[in-house]
């Protein structure tokens, strides 16, 4: 009989950005980062893994289309790391079926349109690792499993945990201390909401993986960020979350997004992820904050033009009205469920 497990994992949004690797093979970052894991209702990946002795080899289906497993070194790394952990389980228990030697079938689906440009490797690898953890009955904690997800995609290690999550850069060469841990549960700050604004559904021109390597090699501003800016910001961000201090959380979130994009501009050749609409959203958030006389909203952008807005519940209502008036849905954009119902509340 085949053994199988199905697990979902959500997308996470970094408020202190990960950008840069000290080891590209093991995916070890140059700096720590901190993120908010969104709820599973809106942007998540659902993955089923199935192991059977009679499966010839490993196979993978992404949103119903079969992909070549061997084409992705990262995917192979994740599967072989999980198999090693399973082998230890089998060694300790001679009655345990030898799942580590069987073929695997992996079926992965996003609950959001992939065309929306939000297809995230973070939720994908987090779901895969969580599913393998369940299938293989691995004794590892979520923090320990985050190390396995990290090998698939850096930001994926943060999606293994819910709520507010810190990824410690670590100092060890083998990556043993480079893992994610929960800073606070989602229930710690229920008034905080996240809104995803789809600005463009086009695929990004420079991948995060390639972009950050060029940054490490060429940007003097990046070196300053890693050495003198991020360590202090990690501490201030943790304190802002602990105190539920929205103004401090929002200010730092905007500043860190801005510095990340400044570092991209400082990369040679420069990388531009934000577009005119992104900048217009930035200006609108600042105008809103000025109008209400306090920091009531924050924006953040990853390696693309889409915006994520953070605000407390009551302010989010007002903001959504304002945003939908200023940025009516263009005819070219499909009326995706999450655009019609933009409360991608985390
Ligand atoms: C801008 O995790 O996609 O979203 O580790 O090479 O897979 P790899 O990169 P990835 O980079 C994410 C970068 C970011 C910031 C962040 O999520 O912290």
Average pLDDT, the chain: 92
Residues 6+ apart with CB under 8 A from 148: 78, 81, 82, 85, 129, 132, 133, 140
Q: Report the C-alpha dihedral over residues 245, 246, 247, 248, rounded to 10 degrees.
A: 50
3-state SS of the chain: helix, strand, coil percent to 5? 45, 20, 35
Q: How many other C-beta atoms can be found within 10 angstroms of the C-beta atom of residue 55? A: 14
- Quick: pLDDT tens for 259-293: 999 999 999 999 999 999 999 999 999 999 999 99
pLDDT of residue 118: 66
Distance 101 CA to ligand 1 centre (A): 32
Residues 6+ apart with CB under 8 A from 203: 117
The ligand 1 atom nearest the CA atom of 154? 5
Q: What is the rounded distance in angstroms from the CA atom of residue 133 to the CA atom of residue 81?
A: 11
Bin 46: left if φ > 0, else alpha if -120 < ψ < 50, else beta: beta
SS3 state of residue 6: strand
The ligand 1 atom nearest the CA atom of 120? 3
SS3 state of residue 297: strand
Assess whether pLDDT exceeds 50 at residue 200. Answer: yes
Backbone angles phi, psi at 33, to 5 degrees: -145, 165
What are the helix (H) ranges across 18-106? 73-92
pLDDT of residue 85: 98
Asked whether the ipTM of the predicted complex exceeds the cut of 0.95, the reply is yes
Ligand 1, atom 11, residue with closest C-alpha: 208
Distance 36 CA to ligand 1 centre (A): 14
Percent of the chain's residues with pLDDT above 90: 83
pLDDT of residue 336: 43
Assess whether pLDDT exceeds 80 at residue 343. Answer: no
pLDDT of residue 155: 97
Q: Which residues line ligand 1 (CB under 6 A)?
A: 14, 17-19, 27, 33, 121, 153-155, 208-209, 302-303
pLDDT of residue 344: 45
Distance 70 CA to ligand 1 centre (A): 22
333 — pLDDT class (breaks 50, 70, 90)? low
Ligand 1, atom 14, residue with closest C-alpha: 302
Q: How many other C-beta atoms can be found within 10 angstroms of the C-beta atom of residue 306? A: 23
The secondary structure of 250-279 as a DSSP string is HHHHHHHHHHHHHHHHHSSS------HHHH
- Quick: pLDDT tens for 113-146: 664 556 578 999 999 999 999 999 999 999 999 9
SS3 state of residue 205: coil
Q: What is the rounded distance in angstroms from the CA atom of residue 20 to the CA atom of residue 263?
A: 11
Residue from 303, 305, 307, 308 to probe ligand 1 pocket by mutation (most atoms less than 8 Å from CB): 303
pLDDT of residue 171: 98
Residues 6+ apart with CB under 8 A from 181: 143, 146, 161, 165, 166, 168
Assess whether pLDDT exceeds 90 at residue 335. Answer: no
User: Running DSSP on this structure, what letter comes out for residue 39?
Assistant: P
pLDDT of residue 332: 57
28, 216 Cβ separation under 8 angstroms = no
Q: What is the rounded distance in angstroms from the CA atom of residue 194 to the CA atom of residue 346?
A: 6
**pTM reported for the whole predicted model:** 0.94
The ligand 1 atom nearest the CA atom of 209? 6
User: Running DSSP on this structure, what letter comes out for residue 328?
Assistant: P
Q: Which residue from 164, 193, 195, 184 is spatially nearest to 312, judged by alpha carbons? A: 193
Assess whether pLDDT exceeds 50 at residue 325. Answer: yes
276-292 vs 313-326: helix crossing angle, rounded to 10: 130
Q: Tell me the HSE value of 86 on the side-chain side, using a 13 A CA sphere.
A: 22
User: Running DSSP on this structure, what letter comes out for residue 77?
Assistant: H
204 — pLDDT class (breaks 50, 70, 90)? low
pLDDT of residue 331: 61
Name beta bridge partners: 33. 167
Residue from 36, 121, 154 to probe ligand 1 pocket by mutation (most atoms less than 8 Å from CB): 154
SS3 state of residue 343: coil
pLDDT of residue 197: 86
Assess whether pLDDT exceeds 90 at residue 2. Answer: no
């Amino acid at each position: 009989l085949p053994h199988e497990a199905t697990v979902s994992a959500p997308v996470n949004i970094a408020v202190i950005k990960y950008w840069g690797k000290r080891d590209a093979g093991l995916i070890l970052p140059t700096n720590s980062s901190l993120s908010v894991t969104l709820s599973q209702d809106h942007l998540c990946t659902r993955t089923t893994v199935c192991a059977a002795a009679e499966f010839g080899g490993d196979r993978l289906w992404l949103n119903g289309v079969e992909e070549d497993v061997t084409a992705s070194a990262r995917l192979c790394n994740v599967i072989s790391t999980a198999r090693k952990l399973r082998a230890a389980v089998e060694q300790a228990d001679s009655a345990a079926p030898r799942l580590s030697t069987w073929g695997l079938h992996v079926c992965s689906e996003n609950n959001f349109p992939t065309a929306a440009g939000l297809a995230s490797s973070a939720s994908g690898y987090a779901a895969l690792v969580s599913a393998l953890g369940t299938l293989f009955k691995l004794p590892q904690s979520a923090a320990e499993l985050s190390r396995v997800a990290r090998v698939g995609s850096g930001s994926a290690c943060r999606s293994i945990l819910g709520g507010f999550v810190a990824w410690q850069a670590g100092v060890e060469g083998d990556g043993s201390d480079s893992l994610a841990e929960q800073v606070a549960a989602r229930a710690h700050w229920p008034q905080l909401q996240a809104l995803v604004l789809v600005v463009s559904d086009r695929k990004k021109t420079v991948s995060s993986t390639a972009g950050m390597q060029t940054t490490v090699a060429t940007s003097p501003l990046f070196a300053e960020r890693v050495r003198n800016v991020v360590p202090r910001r990690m501490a201030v961000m943790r304190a802002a979350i602990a105190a539920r201090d929205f103004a401090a959380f929002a200010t730092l979130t905007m500043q860190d997004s801005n510095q990340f994009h400044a570092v991209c501009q400082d990369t040679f050749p420069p990388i531009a992820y934000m577009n005119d609409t992104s900048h217009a959203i930035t200006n609108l958030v600042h105008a809103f904050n000025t109008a209400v006389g306090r920091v009531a909203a924050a924006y953040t952008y990853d390696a693309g033009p889409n915006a994520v807005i953070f605000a407390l519940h009551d302010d989010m209502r007002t903001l959504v009205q304002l945003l939908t008036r200023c940025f009516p849905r263009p005819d070219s954009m499909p009326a995706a469920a999450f655009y019609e119902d933009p409360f991608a509340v985390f």
